[in-house]
Amino acid sequence: MILIFAGFSACTQPVSKDEKANSELLVPETIINQAIGSLKQKSGVTNLIRLEKGVKHAATLWRTEDGTNEDFVAFCETNFVASDAERELLFNKVTKNFESIFGHFNKISLDLKENVDLNNGKMLKIDKDFSAFSIGSHLFNDLFANKIAFIIALNFPYYPLTEKEKLDKSVTRKDWAMVRLGDIFVSRVPAELQQAVAKAGAEADIYISEYNIEMGKLRTDSGKQIFPEKMVLLSHWNLRDEIKANYGNKEIGKEKQEMIYKVMERIIDQDIPENVINNPNFLWMPYSNKVLENGKEISYLTESNKRYQQIINNFKAEKAIDAFNPEMKTFIQRKFSGEMEIPQEDVETLFDTYLRSPQLIKIGAIIEKRLARSLHPYDIWYDGFKARSAIPQEELNKKTISRYPNPMAFETDMPIMLGKLGWSKERAKYLSEKIAVDPARGSGHAWGASMKGEKAHLRTRIPETGMDYKGYNIAVHEFGHNIEQTISLYDIDHYLLNGVPNTAFTEALAFIFQSRDLQLLGINNSNPDQERLNTLDSGWSLMEIMGVGMVDMKIWKWLYSNPESTPSELQAAVLLITKEVWNTYFSPVFGIKDETILGIYSHMISNPLYLAAYSYGQIIEFQLEEYLTNKNFSNEIDRIYMQGRVIPQQWMEGAVGSKISVKPFLNKLDKALN
Question: Which DSSP string do the residues of 453-479 spell out, in sequence order?
Answer: TS-EEEEE---TT---HHHHHHHHHHH
Q: What is the 3-state secondary structure (H, E, C) of 77-112?
A: HHHCCCCHHHHHHHHHHHHHHHHHHHHHHHHHHHHH
Q: Which of 474, 469, 504 is nearest to 237 (CA)?
A: 474
pLDDT digits (tens, 9 = 90+) for 91-100: 999 999 999 9
Given pLDDT bands bounded at 50, 70 and 90, which one contains residue 5?
very low
Instruction: List, in sequence order, every beta strand (DSSP E) within 138-239.
Output: 212-214, 232-234
Phi, psi for residue 44 in degrees, rounded to 5? 90, 0
Tell me, what DSSP letter sits at residue 30?
H
| Bridge partners (DSSP) listed for residue 457 | 436, 447
Question: Which ranges of 81-190 would DSSP assign to H, the alpha helix?
Answer: 84-112, 114-117, 125-132, 139-145, 148-155, 161-164, 173-182
How many CA atoms lie less than 13 Å away from 366 in the CB half-sphere? 20
* pLDDT at residue 212 is higher than 80: yes
Mean pLDDT along residues 461-480: 91
Asked if 521 and 391 touch (Cβ cutoff 8 Å), the reply is: no
pLDDT at position 21: 38
pLDDT at 12: 29
Q: pLDDT at position 387, please?
A: 66
Angle at which helices 407-420 and 469-490 cross, to 10°? 70
pLDDT at residue 149 tops 90:
yes
Half-sphere exposure of 594 (CA within 13 A, CB side): 0
φ, ψ for residue 79, nearest 5 deg: -110, -5
Peptide bond into 477 cis (omega under 30): no
Q: What does the alpha-carbon distance between residue 161 and residue 204 come to, in Å, rounded to a whole number?
A: 30
* Predicted local distance difference test score (pLDDT) of residue 173: 95
Residue 213 has pLDDT above 60, yes or no: yes
- Specify the DSSP class assigned to residue 444: E
User: What band does 2 get if pLDDT is binned at 50, 70 and 90?
Assistant: very low
Cβ atoms of 640 and 655 closer than 8 Å: yes
Q: Model confidence over 255-308: pLDDT tens digits?
A: 999 999 999 999 999 999 999 999 999 999 999 999 999 999 999 999 999 999
Per-residue pLDDT tens for 653-662?
999 999 888 8
Cα gap 146→66, rounded to integer Å: 9
Q: Which string of b and e fits 637-665 if b means at least 16 CB within 10 Å?
A: bbebbebbbbbbbbbbeebbeeebebeeb
pLDDT greater than 60 at residue 19: no
DSSP state of 355: H
* pLDDT in the model for residue 167: 86
pLDDT band, residue 25 (cuts 50/70/90):
low
Number of H helices, E strands in the chain: 33, 8
pLDDT, the chain, mean = 91
Q: H or E element: which one contains 208? A: helix 191-209
pLDDT at 156: 97
The pLDDT of 485-509, averaged and rounded, is 95
Tell me the three state secondary structure of residue 1: coil
Say if residues 318 and 560 touch (Cβ distance below 8 Å).
no
Angle at 636 between CA 497 and CA 493, to 5 degrees: 25
pLDDT digits (tens, 9 = 90+) for 518-541: 999 998 766 778 889 989 999 999
Q: pLDDT digit string (tens) for 312-364?
A: 999 999 899 998 887 789 999 999 999 999 999 999 999 999 999 999 999 99
Question: What confidence score (pLDDT) does residue 118 get?
Answer: 85
Alpha carbon separation from 443 to 239, 288, 370, 671 (Å, rounded): 11, 29, 31, 36
Report which of residues 579 and 168 the model is more confident about: 579
The predicted structure's pLDDT at residue 457:
96
Beta pairing, strands 296-298 & 290-293: antiparallel
Residue 573 and residue 552 in contact, taking contact as beta carbons nearer than 8 Å? no
Of the candidates 183, 185, 130, 132, the one whose C-alpha atom is nearest the C-alpha of residue 159 is 183
According to the model, what pLDDT value does residue 7 have?
A: 35
Once rounded to an integer, what is the mean pLDDT over residues 145-154?
Answer: 97
pLDDT at 1 exceeding the cut of 60? no
The half-sphere exposure of 275 on its side-chain side, counting CA atoms within 13 A, is 14
Q: Region 631-640: what's the mean pLDDT?
A: 98
Residues 273, 217: contact at Cβ < 8 Å? no
Opening angle at CA 516, ends 215 and 456, nearest 5 = 80
CA proximity to 187, closest of 351, 6, 12, 14: 6
* Dist CA 42 CA 276 (whole Å): 71
pLDDT of residue 22: 44
* In the predicted structure, residue 18 carries a pLDDT above the cut 70: no
Q: Is 294 left (phi over 0), alpha (psi -120 to 50) or beta?
A: left
Q: In what order do the strands lie in the sheet with 283-285?
A: 283-285, 290-293, 296-298
Instruction: Tell me the C-alpha distance between 236 and 351, whole Å.
Output: 22
SS3 602: coil
pLDDT tens for residues 375-422? 999 999 999 887 666 678 889 999 999 999 999 999 999 999 999 999
Q: How far apart are the C-alpha atoms of 64 and 375, rounded to whole Å?
A: 62
In sequence order, the 6+-apart residues with CB closer than 8 A to the CB of 374 are: 368, 591
What is the distance between the alpha carbons of residues 657 and 183, in angstroms, rounded to a whole number? Answer: 26
3-state helix, strand, coil in the chain (%, to 5): 65, 5, 30
Q: How many CB atoms lie within 10 A of CB 340?
A: 23
How many other C-beta atoms lie within 10 A of the C-beta of residue 168? 5
Rounded Cα distance, 371 and 384, in Å: 9
How far is 321 from 187, CA to CA, in rounded Å? Answer: 10
pLDDT score at 169: 76
